[in-house]
Homo-oligomer: A and B are copies of this chain.
Amino acid sequence: MALEHAILVSLLEKPGSGYELARRFERSIGHFWTATHQQIYRVLKRMEADGWVDVRDVPQQGRPDKKEYAVSASGLSALAEWLHEPVQPESVRHDLAVKVRGAAFDDPAALIGEVERHRRMHRDRLAHYLEGERRDFGGSDAAGTPDSGASGPGGSDAGRELQHAVLRGGIAYERMMIAWLGDVLDTLHRLASRR
């Protein structure tokens, strides 16, 4: 269970409210860790009780007041502790793979639309990642431009580079999936034509 830790990382990158966290989990962080606002509020409360975060009421005009959370010293050390202990190989859950194997007991051709739909979603996500990469991490610099203060993501230089590394992982994942789904489509078409 690492939702707590994902929240810690996000709040370290930038303090914010439960609502703001929920929005981040729909975008950047959400690409490798999902959570709904209900989960977040629940966990945030526990983290507050455990002293991992400090809360500050922020009155706003024209909008409801919010509670801004920030990581405390003990939250930071809890994160450090987690970073030093091994995590087990995350368990996978690929509905599509189950469906592909299941297609052998139904009409394989009937899956084609579904697989194409997934490929479209992965292409969209890849485009979205690549756009974010262009925006936040230069166009073609390899390791130059040690500025960073401008408008890019959180804080330090190391933070930027690590965020970029994670993003490259997302990009590699989407590319792999798009290629594999093409492979699956070829297989399904071959099976459909043969009979």
Known: A8-B102, A79-B102. A93 touches B90 (CB 8 A): yes
Q: Which of B2, B117, B156, B164 interacts with A95 by CB under 8 Å? A: B2
A156, A162, A173 interface centre (most CB from chain B within 10 Å): A162
Find out whether the CB atom of A104 lies under 8 angstroms from the CB atom of B155: yes
Nearest CB of B to A185, in Å: 10
A94: nearest chain-B partner, CB-CB: B32
A172 touches B180 (CB 8 A): yes
A107-133: CB near B (< 8 Å → 1, else 0) gives 010110010011001000000000000
User: Which residue of B has the minimal Cβ distance to A108?
Assistant: B158
User: Copy number of this protein in the oligomer?
Assistant: 2
Stretch at the interface among A14-22, A48-56, A80-88: A80-88
**A156 and B17 alpha carbons, distance in the complex (Å):** 55
Decide if A96 touches B102 in the complex (CB within 8 Å): no
Number of A residues whose C-beta is below 8 Å from B? 69
- B residues in contact with A183, CB < 8 Å: 165, 168-169
Pick the contact of A166: B5, B13, B101 (CB < 8 A).
Answer: B101
Q: A102-B79, A104-B162, A166-B101 are in contact. Are A33 and B94 (CB under 8 A)?
A: yes
What string of 1s and 0s marks CB contacts (under 8 Å) between A166-189 and chain B? 101100110110011001100100
> A95 → chain B, closest Cβ, in Å?
4
Known interface pairs A172-B176, A190-B143. Does A5 touch B102 (Cβ–Cβ under 8 Å)? yes
**Contact status B5-A103, CB under 8 Å:** no
Is the pair A2, B169 in contact by a Cβ cutoff of 8 Å? no
Q: Using Cβ atoms and an 8 Å threshold, which residues of chain B touch A13?
A: 101
- Indicate if A159 sits at the interface (CB-CB under 8 A): yes
User: With an 8 A cutoff between CB atoms, is A97 at the interface?
Assistant: yes
Determine if A9 and B105 form an interchain contact, defined as CB atoms under 8 angstroms apart.
Answer: yes
What 4 A-B pairs come out closest when comparing CB atoms? A104-B159, A32-B94, A32-B97, A34-B91
